[in-house]
Structure 1
């Protein structure tokens, strides 16, 4: 009896795995797409929040909104730092649009970009 059990088990292990029903496969794929979209949204919002936490504290406040004076512009925010931050915001905006971010998600990035550009003297602004 043991010999036939052993042969039967070996034959069963040799059989291919059955394919799941088509409806189950579609449900699994749909669920996977929803999870991936949610993960990307959370990652995008986190990246935007981190970027804003880095960029916004160094931006001049409303009291500094007057036109920059030649000697003071360099002390408010070094141009190379501002341009690097501007490029980081542009990359974040591009990534947000590529993943289909909503207007509510990109609005803070656009606001930070506008504020950063306003803080740069006209002759140091990138030519887009």
Structure 2
């Protein structure tokens, strides 16, 4: 039965008149194919850009935030080391007891901050305070003056 239907369809198709498409039809077919290819490329690149944006968003969400201005913190640490070397190199450093206590308190606060993993925003003011105390000690030793607190 399937063979009979197939042969009937073949006979019907054979009975159709010859059709010659107009010459401009091929130009329209080629233009349609070009549009489809361009649409596929556009879809491909849009999907690729979407994947890139999704990965970038995921990295931004999952990645830990960068420390705030680590170079400023490193600069403060280097400055502190330089001040410490200058102070240690003085012939007779003058260090009032109050300044030594203040320096020790700042160094203890710095160590505690580092122990708990403090952020740069918390560490920078401590380094600035340490540098200020060391600078004042160097200035006092260089002038031979005595520190007076009111």
TM range (shorter): 0.3 to 0.5
**Structure with more contact order per residue of length (Cα contacts < 8 Å, sep ≥ 6):** 1
TM-score after normalising by structure 2 = 0.36
Give the structure with higher Rg (CA): 2
